[in-house]
Chain A
């Protein structure tokens, strides 16, 4: 898994264009302001703060909110009261209390869960996910990271790089964040010593090659005193870089979605307000779609053309990545939740075998053979953890062999999906490469993961194959089951075929034992071998798309 992270030369960091004009022209963020209204911040940056316990994350956020005038008077009054009651800072305001909202957190002085905070400056709107430092809440940190464009990794100047710093850096990298700010905090407690700052920077740079961050800055700060956060500190005349806030306002984070990616729309819901309208709703994962474009629905492989594209404000000429769209098609093709509509010619396809990097989040350790439910984009299918390939040592980033993944451990597994599901490597597309695993017994979200590779499989459609070959009628499915493969030639080695052969032979032997003659026994065995798949079809319900085919389990009442 660490091998999947390509080392990047540290000096290949692009210069950040810090002018406001450049950001205003940045097409990802530019937008008109409503008439007659003071312009709201046009661009949005989502970032996380992470690091070890007591590195001062909550204090830093409290400080950011305070120094950008995002704290209201009544909240400040409450903060003064609370600082006296629960504060850990003596006479001073305890900024951490602004953000630690749950009573258990205030009493223990730690952050248990992700807290989302909102503030804006004249240049940008920000959404912060303040994530917990405790190892036991790693899953909450990973959740926050999965939605962020940038990470602030805090390091305590007195302690340097800790195991949790490495763990959070690794998860940050795993979920695809490329822009990080390493904020070396509590500089006031080491006398704003330049040597301390530079030593920690060198230590962190030593682990960078394994992380693949392409845009990194180191800032010496004191969250408690406000040094180098919104204002330049007089105590660090040796530091010539940007303050933390300047950096946040000017950074242009890399996104994973490559330019010019093909159009892909995971079908979320089918809108049928009347008999004449069948709209496929979903948020476009990538690309662009216009009226008349040829599309393919996966995994069925049926083709059609786009009749109309609807955006949030009604019909539009074209729809784009990130927009909540509704498509109507020329033909009555049967696509439903869990399918993906793609541009014709896309190489994307459905698969049954995935190689996945997982963060295990459940108390019961993961072992090979566990059955879970995988959720990829809008598709949901039972999945078997076929093999647990390796775990990652969070200290050295080296893989090691293991038979179980404990809570908050990261490892690589091979998943066998019950139904062919459209997926792609996370490095190519976040939307179709991110997944969660759900425990069918407790319904808890037991793991989050990213697809590293998908296995090639014969007989499963990709968008380049003509649709006729992919029609999956009842007969076709029965035939596929009988032959043990969806392809035309029988596969004698298929487990199902072998099982049937063994069962038939056993039945023949039993018949002989009970005194039936040899021809009768052979005939009986042949009949059994031939008819068993059809009996199987008869008594097992057809899985509806997007439904788990386990009628005996506790339903989620949601049809999926």
Chain B
């Protein structure tokens, strides 16, 4: 046995999972959400198939409300790596005028993200989709399988999941069923950042502290990324040094005040942090088991 560090063991496990999908799925796809977890997952996929390229495209479900820096980063990374990138927007949602301000976070996420994802999976007939979700993110994710079977209607049945002993993943499914596969299941937020630092993986600059235009709203700091965000009476835009622990739609993602301008800064800040990573996510807060309900409806 050669000594293997904690991160090397996680890396080997993830590469194994990614190769398992390539070997068994007919039409896999990697969901790329542009965040740090996606960046790590993509990096692992590049390793798993070197010297070749990953034998599947990337899919980004664009809600049209992502930070502009995320979109620039996405297009640049896909070009640099020479990967096939599919961008899907739920046009029905756009036509119906769904947006995070008028419709509320829940409807916006349901329509633009969950419905958008289902549309894309059906349109391209993907039978396995990689996601960057980690079990340590949220309570109901702590029970998620690595290979999570979804019915033809994309539903997740928490009581009907297959046991996954050892590394023996049962990859059989019926016509119309699909898998969501989570190669980063056993990584923690801290593992992800340690690995980003160790491997020099490029991430969106929004993770690093900088002066940014923010508005205080509902106890959160929301960055006003474009003119579509209208100010309510009494609100004003302030320049503050902030960064983001997670990235999503800009109106729904709270910033944190920080001076961590580089990776070592982020890592030491995270190690001393007293709040969880998803605290800045509005969508997690609709009741205790809301993430579980979202998953049953097909959200990641």
Query: Which residues of A approach B to under 8 Å, CB–CB?
Result: 27-32, 34, 36-38, 40-44, 72-75, 78, 82, 98-104, 106, 112-118, 120, 125, 127, 139-140, 142-143, 146-147, 175, 257, 259, 268-269, 271-274, 277, 279, 281-283, 288, 310, 312-314, 320-324, 326, 337, 361, 373, 375, 378, 430, 434-436, 438, 443-445, 448, 554-560
In angstroms, how far is the closest chain A Cβ from the Cβ of B128?
9
B138, B191, B279, B288: the one within 8 Å of A103 (CB): B288
B127, B263, B273: the one within 8 Å of A557 (CB): B127
Q: Would A115 and B142 count as touching, CB distance under 8 A? A: yes
A44, A113, A271, A558: the one within 8 Å of B26 (CB): A558
Q: Does B276 contact A (CB under 8 A)?
A: yes
Q: What residues of B have a CB within 8 angstroms of the CB of A99 in the complex?
A: 139, 142
Best-buried of B142, B162, B197, B276 by chain A (most CB within 10 Å):
B142
Q: Would B276 and A72 count as touching, CB distance under 8 A? A: yes
Q: Would B273 and A443 count as touching, CB distance under 8 A? A: no
Q: Would B174 and A443 count as touching, CB distance under 8 A? A: yes
Q: What residues of A have a CB within 8 angstroms of the CB of B161 in the complex?
A: 113
Q: What residues of A have a CB within 8 angstroms of the CB of B186 in the complex?
A: 116, 118, 127
Q: Would B12 and A312 count as touching, CB distance under 8 A? A: yes
Q: What residues of A have a CB within 8 angstroms of the CB of B174 in the complex?
A: 443, 554, 556
Q: Would A436 and B188 count as touching, CB distance under 8 A? A: no
Q: Which residue of A lies closest to B3 (CB)?
A: A27
Q: Which residue of B lies closest to A546 (CB)?
A: B23
Q: Which residue of B lies closest to A277 (CB)?
A: B51
Q: Does B47 contact A (CB under 8 A)?
A: yes
In angstroms, how far is the closest chain A Cβ from the Cβ of B280?
10
Q: Does B71 contact A (CB under 8 A)?
A: no
Q: Which residue of B lies closest to A323 (CB)?
A: B12
Q: In the bound complex, how far is the Cα of B166 from the Cα of A445, in angstroms?
A: 13
Q: What residues of B have a CB within 8 angstroms of the CB of A147 in the complex?
A: 165-166
Q: Would A40 and B191 count as touching, CB distance under 8 A? A: yes
Q: Would B20 and A268 count as touching, CB distance under 8 A? A: yes
CB contact under 8 A between A273 and B53, given known A28-B1, A40-B190, A375-B168: yes
Q: Would A74 and B276 count as touching, CB distance under 8 A? A: yes
Q: Would A375 and B275 count as touching, CB distance under 8 A? A: no
Best-buried of A27, A269, A272 by chain B (most CB within 10 Å):
A269
Q: Would B3 and A271 count as touching, CB distance under 8 A? A: no
Q: Does B64 contact A (CB under 8 A)?
A: no
Q: Would B7 and A40 count as touching, CB distance under 8 A? A: yes
Q: What residues of B have a CB within 8 angstroms of the CB of A314 in the complex?
A: 50
Q: Would A31 and B275 count as touching, CB distance under 8 A? A: no
Q: Does B248 contact A (CB under 8 A)?
A: no
CB contact under 8 A between A436 and B23, given known A28-B1, A72-B276, A271-B52: no
Q: Would A43 and B26 count as touching, CB distance under 8 A? A: no
In angstroms, how far is the closest chain B Cβ from the Cβ of A87?
13
Q: In the bound complex, how far is the Cα of B262 from the Cα of A36, in angstroms?
A: 11
Q: In the bound complex, how far is the Cα of B165 from the Cα of A142, in angstroms?
A: 7
Q: In the bound complex, how far is the Cα of B50 from the Cα of A436, in angstroms?
A: 30
Q: Which residue of A lies closest to B24 (CB)?
A: A558
Q: Would A143 and B164 count as touching, CB distance under 8 A? A: yes
Q: In the bound complex, how far is the Cα of B51 from the Cα of A326, in angstroms?
A: 10
Q: Would B292 and A28 count as touching, CB distance under 8 A? A: no
Q: What residues of B have a CB within 8 angstroms of the CB of A117 in the complex?
A: 136, 142
> Can you add 19 more A-B contacts, CB < 8 Å, to A37-B267, A104-B159, A556-B171?
A29-B5, A31-B7, A82-B288, A102-B289, A103-B292, A115-B142, A116-B186, A118-B135, A268-B20, A269-B19, A281-B19, A322-B9, A323-B2, A324-B19, A435-B168, A438-B172, A558-B26, A559-B26, A560-B171
In angstroms, how far is the closest chain A Cβ from the Cβ of B290?
10
Q: What residues of A have a CB within 8 angstroms of the CB of B139 in the complex?
A: 98-101, 115
Q: Would B171 and A102 count as touching, CB distance under 8 A? A: no
B73-116 contacts to A (CB < 8 Å): none
Q: In the bound complex, how far is the Cα of B15 from the Cα of A80, in angstroms?
A: 39
Q: What residues of A have a CB within 8 angstroms of the CB of B7 in the complex?
A: 31, 40
Q: In the bound complex, how far is the Cα of B5 from the Cα of A31, in angstroms?
A: 5
